[in-house]
Structure 1
Amino acid sequence: MTATFPLGPFEPSTANPILRPRGDGWESANLYNPAAIVVGDRVALLYRAHAADRVSRIGLAWSDDGIRFEREDEPVLVPEHDYEKAGCEDPRVTRVDGTFYLTYTGFSGASAQLCLATSADLREWTKHGPLFPGFNTWRTLPYGPDVPWSKAGVIHPEKLVGRYWMWFGEGTIHAATSADLLHWTPVADDGHPIHTPTPGSWDATLVEIGAPPVRTADGLLVFLTNGATASSPSQVDYRCGQIAVAETDPATVVARTSEPWLRPTSFEDTHGMVSNVTFVEGLVSFRGKWFAYYGQSDTTLAVATCEV
């Protein structure tokens, strides 16, 4: 389904939060930051959750209406390697020719690296490791980690100008291309992002790609994004915006919303492990509506909707 830029207006659901931590196991402390995709006539969420140890795993939940979800008991993606020993975090998902391509952050405890996994059923995953070793999406900013650091990758399911495209990054946003969806090459080095924070605005400290793009009728790709202002690592305000690129020039941002479409307002948005956070990672068109799924203060999971 085609979109317009900007998407919206979105309204947070009165059912929020639609998923909370539960039990005393792997998802007992915090549950947030979901990827979303329509499979058949249901919405699937791949969400990040952890216990008090803060080692994240990825869970799977299903819904017939986009609001009420049934969770599978066990996580579908768990830490196995040194590069992800401190957590598998913040998934995004795209399907191409029957294969699901999941990007996620592998956190070693010192460095975050964007990783890729593939699956035919959303349950059994083959990991392909870090995509951009040595890349640091914070390099051009005067703050942030000074180690390899790359997060947040979204993939468009169709080729543009002869290649598959991914947009990725926390701090600043970059683009990469691929011939086979498994091996990715940035279009420029980490000193040349395609989108950066806007001084004096709601996204003055950092920008981060949100959900995979949707196509407009006039040849644009529209992305939900995240932006933040921060006075310290623990004093942040995350809001959600939108950017657009042209299908004929996927590495150039041609539009940006000057105001966020979502900001912390509810109790859950403003109270949690990291307070004052609305953080979007999933967007689907389902039964005549857009459903945007987001984390609330790194603690609970919510959805906002708008009519198509």
Structure 2
Amino acid sequence: MAHAQKAKSRKTAKRTAVKTKARSGMSRRHAAARKEKRGKRRTLRNVGGVLGKQGIQRGGKKEEESFAVARAQENPIIAPMGKNDWEAWQTFNPGVILLDDKIHFLYRAIGTDGISRLGYAVSNDGFSIRERMPHPVYQHAMTHYSFNIHSYLSGGGWGGCEDPRLTLIGDTIYMAYVACDQGLPQLSLTSISKKDFLERNWKWSAPKNISPPGMIVKSGCLFPETIKGKHVILYRIFPDIWIDARDTFDFPNGAHLEGAPEIKIRPRFWDSRKIGPGAPPIKTKYGWLLIYYGVDERDSSRYKMGAMLLDKDNPAKVVYRSRQPILEPDEWYENEGHKAGIVYPCGAVVKNGELLIYYGAADSFVCVASADLDEFLESMTHERTPRIKVNRVRK
């Protein structure tokens, strides 16, 4: 009798342990939502403030001001769909554009064949997806299907088109993206008319490889208007942000980027290892707002997000730059995926006075963070703790 009771107790304990283990992953995934519902705010370090010369940190010490988390409760807003083979594994790093008061997404998707393609989605409010197309809307023409170490290290897969950035200039939407084929990752540029885009006639122009010969270019974006009569593009060649100013974005007869490294990493800062342009710049009263990504030499496995303001007439001049990241990979959806510890911005818009930043999380999901634009800019330019809006669940 005693033996039977002991055996029963062992079975009960084992079942309890299994249930506890099964629940642990779910509890981690919903921890942030539960905390927000209870009204408890998490904090991050302050966006920073005025810097003197770029790359110099006053006193060599970090300043630990904090502000309310700007992540949306709805995150992640786009996740892989197993029923669609082409986006069954990963959906991340979205280019976005605001047209007719709606936010349109072109997000990077990787499916069962390991190829990166672009999917389309649209949102009315910027936080919930109204519609998502069941098939890809852009695919880079692959000439060689085999394992590509450069593509695998930049989000997974064997090749294709990666990390789009969208910019509207006149009636044309330009898309800069990273093309991964048999060689080095190259920055490519294509375009589509605004009319065709809205009507979903995916008549893209033939893409042009605009990277300097023999160079790896991992991200790039265009300014939405000319500066002193020149079209300006930001791009990353390790470890800095380069800038090129051109008469046109046509790149005729095999022309390529011929810029220089103008915005550089900062030793002993959170962006000391490498930086790159995230979302295409947004014009503000203080200058061009650039949301960018950075990696710390002392924390090299984690991508973080920062902000800087560039002079409106000379984008090579950094007016303000965040001392600390404005977003770090802390939530479950930024750590449970293809690659842990990633927040990677590719798009941002301003809608009804609210700055909406879209980013890839853990190389697996699309997420959004937001702030009141005026408060965000004031916090950067006046070295004070900003009051950043926390989004509530939208129904």
- Provide the TM-score with structure 1 as the length reference: 0.86
CA positional deviation for 1:124: 2.4
1:267 and 2:327 aligned: no
1:80 and 2:141 aligned: yes
Kept after mapping to 2: 8 A contact 1:83/1:106? no
CA positional deviation for 1:151: 2.5
How many residue pairs match? The answer is: 285
Q: Can you give the 5+ residue segments of structure 2 that lack an aligned partner in the other structure?
A: 1-47, 50-66, 146-157, 374-395
- 2:347 aligned residue: 282
Q: Can you give the 5+ residue segments of structure 1 that lack an aligned partner in the other structure?
A: 135-146
Q: Which structure has more strand as a fraction of its residues?
A: 1
1:178 and 2:236 aligned: no
- 2:285 aligned residue: 217
Q: In 2, Cα distance between the equivalents of 1:99 and 1:83?
A: 30
Q: Which moved more, 1:55-64 or 1:284-293?
A: 284-293
Question: Residue 204 of structure 1 is aligned with which of 272, 279, 303?
Answer: 272
Q: In 1, Cα distance between the equivalents of 2:272 and 2:339?
A: 18
Structure 2 counterparts to residues 222-241 of structure 1, below 5 A: 222-229=289-296, 236-241=301-306
CA positional deviation for 1:198: 1.7
1:132 and 2:240 aligned: no
| Structure number, greater radius of gyration | 2
Deviation per CA, 1:75-112, whole angstroms, max 9, x where unpaired?
Answer: 11112143898210000001111110000000124411
Percent identity over the alignment is 27
Match of 1:129, as an amino acid? Answer: K
Match of 1:157, as an amino acid? Answer: P
SS at match of 2:261: coil
- 1:18 aligned residue: 77
Match of 1:66, as an amino acid? Answer: G
Question: Residue 311 of structure 2 is aligned with which of 246, 269, 292?
Answer: 246
Q: In 2, Cα distance between the equivalents of 1:92 and 1:117?
A: 11
Q: Which structure has more helix as a fraction of its residues?
A: 2
Closer, same or farther: CA 52–197 of 1 in aligned 2, 3 Å = farther
Question: Residue 300 of structure 1 is aligned with which of 365, 368, 373?
Answer: 365
Q: In 2, Cα distance between the equivalents of 1:231 and 1:127?
A: 41
Structure 2 counterparts to residues 51-62 of structure 1, below 5 A: 51-62=111-122
Q: In 2, Cα distance between the equivalents of 1:83 and 1:113?
A: 15
Q: CA RMSD in A?
A: 2.3
- 1:153 aligned residue: 220
Question: Residue 90 of structure 2 is aligned with which of 27, 30, 48?
Answer: 30
Q: In 1, Cα distance between the equivalents of 2:112 and 2:313?
A: 46
Closer, same or farther: CA 9–281 of 1 in aligned 2, 3 Å = farther
Closer, same or farther: CA 159–24 of 1 in aligned 2, 3 Å = closer
